[in-house]
Amino acid sequence: MKIHQFEVEDALASLHSRHSGLTESEVGKRLKEYGKNQIDVVRGESLLWRFAKEFIHFFALILWLAAGLAFFAESQQPGEGMQMLGYAILGVIFINGVFSFWQQFRAERAISALQKLLPSYVKVLRDNVIQQIFAAELVPGDILVLQEGDNVPADCRLLETFSLRVNNATVTGESLPQARDAAPSNEESLEHSRNTLLAGTSVVSGEGRALVFATGMHTEFGKIAHLTQTAVKTESPLQREIMRLSRIIAILAVSLGVIFFIIGHSVGMSFWANFMFAIGIIVANVPEGLLPTVTLSLAMATQRMAKRNALIRHLPSVEALGSATVICTDKTGTLTQNKMSVRTIYLQDRFFTPIQLAREPEIVESQRRFFENALLCQSLKETMTNGQWQAFGDPMELALVHTAKTCLGEKITYPKINEVAFDTDRKRLSTIHQTPKNVVLYCKGAVETVLPLCTHLQDDGKILDMTAQERQKIIRAQEQMADKGLRVLAFAWREIDEGHNSESQENELTFCGLVGLEDPPRPEVAEAMQKCHAAGIKVIMVTGDHPHTAVAIGKQIGQVLSDNPVVITGDKLRKLSETQLRLALDAPDIIFARVAADQKMLIVAALKKKNHIVAVTGDGVNDAPALKLADIGIAMGISGTDVAKEAADMILLDDNFASIIAAIEEGRAVYENIRKFLTYILSSNIPEIVPYLLFALFKIPLPLTIIQILAIDLGTDMVPALGLGSSKPEPESMSKPPRPYGERLLDWKLLFRAYFFLGVFEAIVAMGAYFFVLHTGAWKWGNELAMNSPLYLEATTACFSAIIITQIVNVFLCKIPTHSIFQGKLFDNPIILWGILLEIVLMIFIDYTPWGNFVFGTAPLDAMTWLVIIPMAFVMLILEELRKFFVKRMTVPAQSQRRRKTD
C-alpha cells in the first residue's frame, strides 16, 4: 500500500512520526540523510555563452562588419592606415563586450541577493510547538501547518483539514481548485488522491495539517522539474523600445556612412581613403555604450528601490513602474497600518466601547454568545514564544479575541469540530464548536452576507424574531460606524441539532451584534497621495470593505478630493458592461468597495484598454491573476501569500503605499536617465561628422582623424555617459504627469536638441579651435599640409580637445535638461565626476605624451589655444541657459491656460 491509502495513524507510523511532530535530533538526522528540500536548478545558459552573446548583438555585428571591411581594405591597399582602424574597432568590440557582460552579471547578482531578503518560510509542528522554518529545512516526517495562500513546499499526506481546497494546476493541469480531506484514498496515483498535497501546488482556501513524505528532487514536482521548465521570459516595453532604438540608430549610422562615401567619391577622393572615412562615420554613430548604460541604470535604480523597501523581481519592471498612470491599491495594510482595534460594539440597540462593557458584566453575561463568537470564530494559530503561548494571524481576529477575553474575564476552549472557511465570495467565516450543552455554529462576516441569513436576534438574553424594522436599525447602525471609517462585522450564531459538516447549516441564524474596528491610515500615506496627484497618477482604492468605510478612509488620506466620489460595489460591477465600466473609470475620484479579489481583473483589463499603464497591489491567492495581468504587479512582503509574491513584479517589504510612490520616482528616473545618455552621445556625433563634411566639400586638411573619433567615443565619453545613466531622480520628477502613452525614447525633440543645438555648437567650437591654430601657423586656403607636419598635428589636436572640453560642459547640460544647472545639484553623481577626471587625464595623456602623440596623431597645444577653447565652451553653457529660460517662459503660460480650461 502507498501512503495515501493508509489511515492517519498508519501513515504517521510508516514515517516514524507522531501528531506532535519530530524532535530536533530526528530532524537533524533526516536532513543529513535526505538532504535539503530544494529543487536542483535546471542548467541554463552557460556563463561562457552569455559572455559570447555580448559580442554578437546588433551593434556588435555592425562593428564586426566594419572591422572586417577595414582589414579587407588593408589587404587590398596596404599603408593607408586601415589596419590600425581595424584593430581599433576590435578594441571597441572587446571593451564594450566585457563591460556589458560585467554590468549584466553584477545586475543579476544584485537581484539574486535582494530576493534572498524574502526566503520561503513554512510552519511546522515539532516537539508539539509550531515553528516557522525555511522551506529548505523540511524533512520527511515533518508535520506541516497549512492555510489559505500557502505554497505547498513538499509532497505530503493530510492528517486533518478544515474546508481545504488546493490549486493543482502547476502539476496536474487541473484549472479548478480541488477539495481535499484526510480520509484514506483508493486512488492508485498520488496526483488524484484526495488526501495528498503535492509540492508546487497552493492552498486556495481552508486550513489543515499534513505529514511530509517526500522532499526536494524526490517529490513529483522535483521529478519533472516543472518550475524551471515553465519559466517564460517576455520582453518589457523598455526592451522593445531599446530594440527599436538600436535598429533606428544602426540604419542611421549605415546610411550616413553610405552618403559620405558617395560625397567623397563625387569630390574625387581616392577609393580606399573614402572607404576608410565611411567606416569611421559608421563607427562614430554607433552608440556602443547604450546597452551597458541601460543595464547599469536599471540595476542602480533597483538597489536604490530596495533601500526604500521595494524589491524588484524582474529588472525591466523598474522602468515600467515609472510610466504608471494608475495605481489600483488595497486599503487594509497598504493604505492603513493593519493594526486593528475594536472601537465600537453595537449590542441591544446601543453603542458601547470595550472599556464600557468591561465595567458592565451584566450586559456581557446577557450577550455571552456574542463574546463567545468573537473569541472562537477565528483562524488564529498559537506558537510558543519566549516560553509563552502567543497567537498570530489576522490582526482583525487578534483584536476581536483580545476584546472578548477582556470582557469575559476568562478563556473559553470549546473544541472546534469543523469550519466553513472565509473566502472573498462568501465574505464570512463560520466555525462549529462542541459546547458543554450542544453543538454551536458561530458566524461572523460582512453585514450584507450575514444579516440575510438571520431570522432571529438576541436582545438582553432573549431570542426574538427578526423584523424588517430591526434589520433597518442594524443597517443604520452599520452605516453610522462605517461613516467614521470603521470596518464593520456582523456576528450571529445557531445551535445545531444534527450534522455539522455542511455550509447549508449557515441559515436561520440569530443575530447578536456588530463590531466596528479601527485601522488607522499610515501617517506617510497622505503625503504619498499628494505626490500622486502632483505626478498625474490616478489612485483607485479597490477594497472588500463597506463603501462608507472606504470613502471615509479615502478622504482622510487625500485619495478622494471631491465631496461625492463615484463608488462602485462588487454587485454593481457584475452588472456593468465593459463599455459602462470604462466610462465609469473616467471619474476623477472612484472607489471600488465590497469587491472580490477576482473582480480586480475586470478593473485592470478595462484600464489597460484605455491605454493606461496599470500598477496593482495584492496579497491573496485570488489577487494573482490581476497581478499577472497588470503592467506592474505589486505584492505585499509581510501579509502577502507566496502565490501573490510569485505573480508579482515587485514586492513591498513594508506593505506600505508610500514605498510604491518612492519606487515610481526611481522608475521615472530610469527613463529620463536613458534620454540624458542619448542626448549626450548623439551631441558628439555632429562635431565628429562636420570635420569630414568640410574636408570633403571645401578641400581643407582633415580636422579630425578616425582614431581620434574612437578615442572620444570609447575613451573620454564613456564613463560620463554611464554616469548620466545612473543619476538619482530629479526633484521635479514627481511634479509632472507620466509620459504620454506611446512616447518614444528617441523622439524629434531629443534629436533636435542633440543634433541641431548642442551638437552644432560643439562643432562650431571644435572647428573654431582648428582654424585658430591654422591661422596662427600662417596656413592659407588651398595649401596642402602633410599628415605628419607639426602644424597639422597641433590643429587636429585642437579640434579633438575642443570636442572633449565641450562634452565636459555638455554632461552637466544633459544632467539637468529642463532648468538652470545653477538650480540643480551639479556634483552629486560620483560616476560623472570620476568620468570627467578620467576625460581630463586621457586628454592630457593623448595631447602631451610622446606615446599618446604617436598613437593618436596629436601634438601639444600652447596656452593661447586653451584660452580660445575654454571660453567658447562656456558660451555654449550660456546659450543653453538662455534656451531653457525662453522655453520655460513659453511653457508656463501654456500650462496655465490648460489649467484654466480644465477648471
- Three-state SS at 12: helix
* Rounded distance between C-alpha atoms, residue 168 and residue 165, angstroms: 10
**CB-based contact 426:390 (threshold 8 Å):** no
**CB-based contact 743:750 (threshold 8 Å):** no
Closest C-alpha among 672, 648, 671 to residue 660: 648
330 carries an active-site annotation: yes
Closest C-alpha among 799, 581, 583, 831 to residue 687: 799
* Per-position DSSP letters for 308-362, written without gaps between them: TTEEESSTTHHHHHHT--EEEE-STTTTB----EEEEEEETTEEE-HHHHHT-HH
Phi, psi angles (nearest 5°) of residue 261:
-65, -45
Q: State residue 761's pLDDT score.
A: 95
**CB-based contact 902:894 (threshold 8 Å):** no
* Rounded distance between C-alpha atoms, residue 598 and residue 584, angstroms: 19
Spot the catalytic one: 142, 155, 330, 519.
330
- Three-state SS at 764: helix
- Number of Cβ atoms within 10 Å of the Cβ of 584: 17
Reduced DSSP (H G I as helix, E B as strand, rest coil) percent helix, strand, coil of the chain, to 5: 55, 15, 30
- Three-state SS at 285: helix
Phi, psi angles (nearest 5°) of residue 567:
-120, 120
Q: State residue 466's pLDDT score.
A: 95
Overall size of the chain counted in residues: 903
**CB-based contact 546:593 (threshold 8 Å):** yes
Q: State residue 584's pLDDT score.
A: 95
Q: State residue 107's pLDDT score.
A: 57
**CB-based contact 357:345 (threshold 8 Å):** yes
Q: Which value, to the nearest 10 degrees, does the dihedral of the CA atoms of residues 238, 239, 243, 244 take?
A: -30
Q: State residue 119's pLDDT score.
A: 56
| pLDDT tens-digit series, residues 322-331 | 889 999 998 8
Instruction: Name beta bridge partners: 539.
Output: 327
All residue ranges of the chain with pLDDT < 50 are 225-234, 898-903
Phi, psi angles (nearest 5°) of residue 596:
-75, 155
**CB-based contact 363:458 (threshold 8 Å):** no
Could you tell me the pTM of the whole model? Answer: 0.73
CA torsion through residues 286, 289, 292, 297, sign: negative
